[in-house]
A and B are shown apart, each in its own frame.
Chain A
Amino acid sequence: MLSYAIRRLLVAIPTLFIVITVAFFMMRIAPGGPFDQERALPPEIEKNIKAAYDLDKPLIEQYAIYIGKLFQGDFGPSIKIRDFSVAELIMAGAPASMQLGLTAIAIALVFGVGFGTYAALRQNSAVDFAVMGIAMIGIAIPNFVMAPLLSLVFGLYLSILPTAGWGDGEIQYKILPIIALALPQIAYIARLTRGSMVEVLHSNYIRTARAKGLREKLVVNRHAIKGALLPVVSYLGPATAAVMTGSVVIESIFGVPGIGTYFIKAALNRDYPLVMGVVIVYAVMIIMLNFLVDMVYGLLDPKLKSN
């Protein structure tokens, strides 16, 4: 287990450094960015930038200072939104994004595994095809098409939920964004679970379990599930990345005051420090999450646990 953990760390740490370094260099070559000498910026912002970036020092020193500041959570000032540092903006948007993202993943797991198992146990039946067919739709229809449709159906035609907005963070404003975020993942996880469960159910050790005269419920819940769910656990990493990516668009559509919204505005306004800051934060979160998922997988798979 330990050697496995170390191996995964050896992947995670360089990834982190690549992200940080790429961001560093991107900022410096961006035309119209804080390092572009020809660009004229309002004097207050100019002052902030000079203070934040030590432009007269050699590149290596700048890099070192940059890394140092990152570890202290200092991403520098925003160049388009006055009086706010990137860190402050990200913190402001974090609660909303976290709530939506975490809830969406939780829902996706519960419903995805549920539907997938349900379909797998009725392999090749009408129910199986129906569930997999609907899942296919969930995967093929992009979330930026699904979201306005949901808004239209539930917000306008049925009028049971607000079409957009955040209000004071009451729950009715969160329902549609969470569903929109969760749907593609429910579909993916359902298909993944179904495929994996079907494969496990055809394996030799399930045949042995049945030959031992065990109740079908035991066969499925004790013998089949563990093996079937391992690929789902592996998928959690990419799933979270997908939810993060999706949140960018979902937050825009529903007017959710989260990191995604700030990110889009920053991208459209060329607020480079904010764009970099969000990219780094998201990358760090994903890298840490992938590492965690890898650890959980290592604990669940006996072959890795004992080694």
Chain B
Amino acid sequence: MTTNHILTVENLTTRFQTPDGEVEAVNNVNFHIDPGETLGVVGESGSGKTQIFLSLMGLLAKNGSSSGSVRYKDTEILNLPARELNKIRGVSMSMIFQDPMTSLNPYLKISKQMTEVLVEHRGMSEAEALKRAIAMLDRVGIPGAAQRVHMYPHEFSGGMRQRVMIAMALLCDPEVLIADEPTTALDVTVQAQILDLLRDLQKDFNTATVMITHDLGVVAGLCDRVMVMYGGRVVETGSVRDIYYDSHHPYTEGLLKSMPRIDHANEENLFAIPGQPPNLQNLPTGCAYQERCGYVMERCSKERPPLKAFDQDRASACFREDGQ
């Protein structure tokens, strides 16, 4: 059966074997991405948001393993051997990471790090590949691209390095771009520039984009749909407007409330969700959010609320849905 989703994830579970036992970083996650859309994946550190995508890109640490199904178009790609996965990685699906300082190879020139993608995947000659690389660097806003391309990463600033990474990821015109907190390690002003760039590129290249972040502000400016994660599970999904103006899950509510707002500056104290993020090795029975939830009921400590759709493309994992 053909589908028009470009990425379909079903029952994805990722476990890690640690000396202190097994940890489920991702627990039964289901979602899909359509061509050209931008999906925001929001959660705290440890919510599993990054591990989902490391799993499907085959980049998990050695002590991790995944089960479930991940389909890129109609091809099953979860746990594919590296040789097969390499035909998709960097070509149809690209990923950029959080820390541009350490994500580029300090010992190789930018030119090499970029041309190799084209040489490997498109069989281009070095000269051709270099031309394309320079054009792409230009496109992402690197001044003097033709000279800069022959430099080493340490000669670039943080923001510029991230632009380089974006350029590198888009060289083969992928259909999916996964951006793992691309602006977290950057200055605020640079953050805005990078987000603008991403928005711009999205329009031109029509790449489906996944924006992994803990910052709801980022999501607002960039995404079409949002998926909120907590304790390794999806707790709410919806369009960006729905999530903002009509959030259902208590955690989403909490996240929204804790965003400092300039127009409320003199009115109230900053809100922070009480409590701590859950310890994945020691999750409570029932809902993972129960200890911090303002709406907690008796049922929450006995059963785990499943992710239930309550409207077209809207779902929330909370027992309040039953009551409402």
Contact = CB atoms under 8 A, between A and B. Distances in A.
Please say whether chains A and B are actual partners in one complex: yes
Interface of A: 123-124, 203-205, 207-216, 218, 222-223, 226-227, 300-303, 306
Interface residues of B, number: 34
Given A226-B108, A303-B154, A211 B102 contact: no
Interface in B54-107: 57-59, 62, 82-83, 85-91, 94-95, 97, 99, 102-107
14 contacts: A123-B62, A124-B62, A203-B102, A205-B106, A208-B97, A209-B105, A211-B59, A211-B97, A213-B89, A214-B90, A214-B117, A223-B105, A301-B107, A302-B154
3 nearest interchain CB pairs?
A: A213-B90, A213-B89, A212-B90
A152 to B, nearest CB: 43
A223 to B, nearest CB: 5
B16 interface: no
Nearest to B88: A213
Contacts of B97: 204, 207-208, 211
A215 B89 CA distance: 11
A29 to B, nearest CB: 50
A303 B104 CA distance: 14
Contacts of A207: 59, 97, 103
B152 interface: yes
Interface in B91-131: 91, 94-95, 97, 99, 102-108, 112, 116-117, 120-121
Interface of B: 57-59, 62, 82-83, 85-91, 94-95, 97, 99, 102-108, 112, 116-117, 120-121, 152, 154-155, 165, 168
A230 to B, nearest CB: 8
Contacts of B90: 211-214
A297 to B, nearest CB: 12
B89 A204 contact: no
B89 A227 contact: no
Given A204-B99, A208-B97, A222-B116, A214 B86 contact: yes
Contacts of A301: 107
A209 B86 CA distance: 11
A124 B116 CA distance: 30
Contacts of A226: 107-108
A300 B107 CA distance: 8
Nearest to B172: A213
A216 B95 CA distance: 17
A185 B197 CA distance: 52
Nearest to B63: A124
Contacts of B88: 213
Contacts of A223: 105, 108
Nearest to A228: B107
Given A213-B85, A214-B116, A216-B82, A208 B106 contact: no
A227 B103 contact: no
Contact of B120 (A205, A210, A215): A215
A123 B63 CA distance: 12
Contact of B89 (A124, A203, A210, A306): A210
